């Protein structure tokens, strides 16, 4: 047959370990990304290395870990036992080689497959491992998994332990950058879950005495917003902290063997069920589950022998049992919560009364909006039949598809911008929701407005977050507005909506801001898209000879062909990172009534920047003003 491809023994090829990791990195570390999301690959690499040091601490070897980030280089040094010197190279370059297969030594470790460090090695342009053990040291250097230098064992006066240095490969993690807040949050979780451990991150000390109690204290950060003091319960292989606040939604921080299971799993589901069951029995009243869990903020950490996760990145627990011979996760957690939480409430009647008052308040609020909610749901269902506000995608975050992590909803302003994105998007994973004009400033309003406002109601249903994040349909919610004052205002109004009614969506890292180029600089040979005045000046200097310069004033001015370049694999996103846990005070300051303090903030941060080419106060204001204290 003409054009047939030859298929013979020569067509069959075996890849070595590093080739396979580099060819299919997603199989080993999940999504790649550029560091703008907390679960991007560069953070997985860092975590794989720190996990090994944590395992040493758990085994009673080394109470300190040093972590340093400088530019793109990462350094992790622990003071554990050190890798046996004769196996230093094997442990970082041979798949299925490691000490964690000995279940007696690592009964409840996170990494059991011996792949993590090898993946870091293969996906780094430079990787160095050095072990210090009993007065001797061994060092080896790699490039993209290939051994390039090995030194013989030498004498040393350094303390036992292991040092790993690596630089992620920018040909795989394109345009990557580490966001300090993401790394800091990872470090805090490690010390919360390992009492007595000290981590020095870029010369700052991180330490926790009270574990999950400290975690919840930091996350809530304002006792005035709590309905009762944090309940802290500990047992063998389980620790729980919980309270109720004032915010809408449910907020959970769950962990298995020190791994932050950001997507929950068996243990988080069991905990949610156990709290409802226990409180119904304690108060002897058949409360609605949603009323009990409304406004809850809780953390749970368990230890499981040989845990089973639903992905290599270990973000969702799939294990059904605590261990081969142990009870089910659900039974184990239910029995613990039933006894310990019930005992606690009997011993602390003031807390029990405050908790009951919070449940009754949620019940009243639910009944108050029941009629409006029913009508709103009917309108949303009817509107979905002919609604052009949402151009949906084919894969969703609540699917089991391998590309579920890539699912994205762009929230745009107007038909022209949404039209350009719609024509250039990936229809498998990218959806578009078009706003009509400026959204309502919903600060200080009750959730009733979400159902009364057609746009908010349709957006809520598009995301499927009315009853929590379990059914969230898109992993990434991206606010895509024009790079002008009106676009900034719409951005702030949308962030206010999410922070007011769905703060857990922001805290879980699902909300980002789309960066689109402000300028196009081109000549007959080359086109450069620039995201700032500095990039524009550099592009002009590079192209020379008076290139054509276009200022994009709105997303609708960017053609669909060009838009495809900005929402594809090189898409630039600024994550919305909440630095202040007191959301009410945060929104009051920035979105409430005008105050002298806010006026002074605007005057202080607004400036007019003039250069040889133009005066552009809009760009200067956007670059310098943090309208909300989030990393954008």
Fold of 17-206: Heat Shock Protein 90 (3.30.565)
Tell me the residue length of the chain.
Answer: 632
Q: Is 82 helix (H, G, I), strand (E, B) or coil?
A: coil
Regarding predicted confidence, which is higher, 117 or 570? 117
Q: What does the pLDDT look like over 109-149, one tens digit per residue?
A: 555 445 789 999 999 999 999 999 999 999 999 999 999 99
Residue by residue, what is the 3-state secondary structure of 318-349?
A: CCCECCCCCCEHHHHHHHHHHHHHHHHHHHCH
Q: How far is Cα 161 from Cα 88, in angstroms, rounded to an integer?
A: 12
pLDDT of the residue at 522: 92
pLDDT of the residue at 345: 97
* Integer Rg of the chain from CA: 26
pLDDT of the residue at 254: 94
Q: What's the CATH code, domain 371-516+552-578?
A: 3.40.50.670
Lowest mean pLDDT among 51-65, 97-111, 370-384, 607-621: 607-621
pLDDT at 335 over 90: yes
pLDDT of the residue at 133: 95
Q: How far is Cα 434 from Cα 555, in angstroms, rounded to an integer?
A: 12
The three-point CA angle 453-628-435 to 5° equals 30
pLDDT tier at 291, thresholds 50, 70, 90: very high
Regarding predicted confidence, which is higher, 121 or 23? 121
Q: What does the pLDDT look like over 498-551, one tens digit per residue?
A: 999 998 899 888 999 998 888 999 998 899 999 888 999 999 999 988 899 998
pLDDT tier at 632, thresholds 50, 70, 90: very low
Regarding predicted confidence, which is higher, 48 or 600? 48
pLDDT tier at 625, thresholds 50, 70, 90: very low
Q: Which of 417, 428, 372 is nearest to 566 (CA)?
A: 417
Q: Which of 316, 333, 330 is nearest to 233 (CA)?
A: 333
**Average of per-residue pLDDT across 577-595:** 77
Q: How far is Cα 254 from Cα 452, in angstroms, rounded to an integer?
A: 34
Tell me where in the chain the CATH 3.40.50.670 domain(s) lie: 371-516+552-578
Q: What does the pLDDT look like over 441-486, one tens digit per residue?
A: 998 888 889 988 988 999 999 999 988 888 899 999 999 988 778 8
Regarding predicted confidence, which is higher, 540 or 587? 540
220 in Cβ contact with 245 (< 8 Å): yes
Q: What does the pLDDT look like over 166-220, one tens digit per residue?
A: 999 999 998 899 999 999 999 999 999 998 999 999 999 999 999 999 999 988 8
pLDDT of the residue at 622: 33
Tell me where in the chain the CATH 3.30.230.10 domain(s) lie: 212-364
- Mean residue pLDDT of the chain comes to 85
pLDDT at 263 over 70: yes
- Which H or E run contains 235? strand 231-235
Give me the helices (H) in 59-115, please. 88-93
Q: How far is Cα 419 from Cα 431, in angstroms, rounded to an integer?
A: 12
The DSSP call for residue 580 is -
Lowest mean pLDDT among 53-57, 158-162, 613-617: 613-617
Fold of 212-364: Ribosomal Protein S5; domain 2 (3.30.230)
Q: What percent of the chain has pLDDT over 90?
A: 47
For 102, 214, 218, 226, 580, the CA distances from 221, given in Å and listed in that order, are 41, 10, 5, 9, 8
Q: What does the pLDDT look like over 483-510, one tens digit per residue?
A: 778 888 899 999 999 999 998 899 888 9
Q: What does the pLDDT look like over 24-65, one tens digit per residue?
A: 888 888 888 888 888 889 999 999 999 999 989 988 888 999
Question: Which two structure tokens, joined as six digits, stand for 376?
Answer: 């709103």
pLDDT of the residue at 613: 43
Other residues' Cβ atoms within 10 Å of the Cβ of residue 352: 18
Q: What is the pTM of this model?
A: 0.83
Q: How far is Cα 565 from Cα 555, in angstroms, rounded to an integer?
A: 13
pLDDT of the residue at 114: 53
Lowest mean pLDDT among 85-94, 116-125, 272-281, 620-629: 620-629
Q: What does the pLDDT look like over 421-430, one tens digit per residue?
A: 899 999 999 9
pLDDT tier at 108, thresholds 50, 70, 90: low
Q: How far is Cα 412 from Cα 416, in angstroms, rounded to an integer?
A: 9
pLDDT of the residue at 326: 77
For 159, 173, 301, 556, 604, the CA distances from 533, given in Å and listed in that order, are 50, 25, 47, 21, 21
pLDDT tier at 620, thresholds 50, 70, 90: very low
pLDDT tier at 624, thresholds 50, 70, 90: very low
Q: What percent of the chain has pLDDT over 70?
A: 88
Q: Which of 80, 92, 89, 97 is nearest to 45 (CA)?
A: 92
569 in Cβ contact with 34 (< 8 Å): no
Tell me where in the chain the CATH 3.30.565.10 domain(s) lie: 17-206
Q: Is 179 helix (H, G, I), strand (E, B) or coil?
A: coil
Residues 6+ apart with CB under 8 A from 504: 249, 250, 251, 468, 469
pLDDT of the residue at 248: 84
């Amino acid at each position: 047959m003409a054009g047939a491809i030859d298929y013979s023994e020569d067509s069959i090829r075996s890849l070595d370990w590093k080739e396979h990791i580099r060819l299919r990195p997603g199989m080993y570390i999940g999504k790649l990304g550029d560091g703008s999301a907390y679960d991007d690959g560069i953070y997985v690499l860092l975590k794989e290395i720190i996990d090994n040091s944590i395992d040493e601490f758990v085994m009673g070897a080394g109470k300190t870990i040093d972590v340093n980030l400088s530019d793109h280089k990462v350094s992790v040094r622990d003071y554990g036992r050190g890798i046996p010197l004769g196996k230093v190279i094997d442990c970082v370059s041979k798949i299925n080689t490691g000490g964690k297969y000995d279940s007696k030594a690592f009964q409840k470790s996170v990494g059991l497959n011996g792949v993590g460090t090898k993946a870091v090695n293969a996906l780094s342009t430079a990787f160095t491992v050095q072990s210090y053990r009993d007065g001797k040291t061994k060092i080896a250097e790699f490039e993209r998994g290939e051994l390039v230098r090995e030194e013989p064992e030498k004498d040393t006066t350094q303390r036992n332990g292991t040092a790993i240095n690596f630089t992620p490969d920018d040909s795989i993690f394109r345009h990557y950058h580490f966001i300090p807040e993401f790394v800091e949050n990872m470090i805090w979780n490690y010390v919360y879950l390992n009492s007595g451990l000290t981590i020095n991150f870029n010369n700052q000390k991180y330490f926790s005495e009270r574990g999950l109690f400290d975690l919840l204290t930091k996350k809530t950060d304002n006792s005035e917003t709590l309905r009762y003091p944090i309940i802290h319960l500990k047992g063998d292989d389980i620790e729980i902290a919980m309270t109720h606040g004032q915010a809408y939604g449910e907020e959970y921080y769950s962990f298995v063997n020190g791994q932050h299971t950001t997507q929950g799993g068996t243990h988080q589901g069991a905990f949610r069920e156990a709290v409802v069951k226990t409180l119904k029995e304690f108060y002897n009243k058949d409360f609605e589950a949603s009323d009990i869990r409304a406004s809850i903020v809780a953390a749970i950490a368990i230890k499981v022998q040989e845990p089973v996760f639903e992905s290599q990145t270990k973000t969702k627990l799939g294990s059904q049992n605590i261990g081969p011979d142990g009870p089910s996760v659900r039974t184990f957690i239910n029995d613990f919560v039933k006894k310990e939480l019930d005992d606690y409430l009997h011993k602390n009647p003031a807390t029990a009364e405050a908790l009951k008052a919070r449940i009754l308040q949620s019940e009243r609020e639910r009944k108050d909006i029941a009629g409006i909610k029913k009508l709103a749901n009917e309108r949303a269902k009817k509107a979905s039949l002919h609604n052009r506000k949402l151009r949906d995608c084919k894969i969703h975050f609540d699917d089991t598809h391998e590309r579920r992590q890539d699912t994205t909803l762009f929230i745009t302003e107007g038909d022209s911008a949404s039209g350009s994105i719609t024509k250039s998007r990936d229809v498998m994973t990218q959806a578009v929701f078009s706003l009509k004009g400026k959204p309502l400033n919903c600060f200080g309003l009750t959730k009733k407005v979400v159902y009364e406002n057609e746009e908010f109601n349709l957006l809520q249903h598009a995301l499927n977050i009315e009853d929590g994040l379990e059914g969230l349909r898109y992993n990434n919610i991206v606010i895509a507005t024009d790079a002008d004052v009106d676009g900034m205002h719409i951005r702030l109004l949308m962030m206010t909506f999410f922070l007011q009614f769905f703060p857990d969506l922001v805290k879980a890292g699902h909300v980002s801001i789309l960066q689109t180029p402000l300028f196009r600089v081109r000549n007959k040979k080359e086109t450069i898209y620039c995201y700032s005045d500095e990039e524009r000046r550099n592009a002009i200097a590079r192209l020379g000879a008076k290139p054509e310069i276009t200022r994009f004033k709105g997303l609708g001015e960017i053609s669909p062909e060009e838009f495809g370049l900005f929402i594809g694999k090189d898409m630039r996103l600024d994550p919305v990172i909440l630095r202040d846990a007191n959301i009410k005070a945060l929104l009051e300051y920035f979105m409430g009534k005008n105050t002298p303090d806010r006026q002074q903030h605007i005057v202080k941060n607004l400036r007019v920047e003039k250069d040889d080419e133009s005066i552009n106060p809009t760009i200067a204001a956007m670059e310098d003003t943090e309208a909300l204290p989030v990393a954008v």
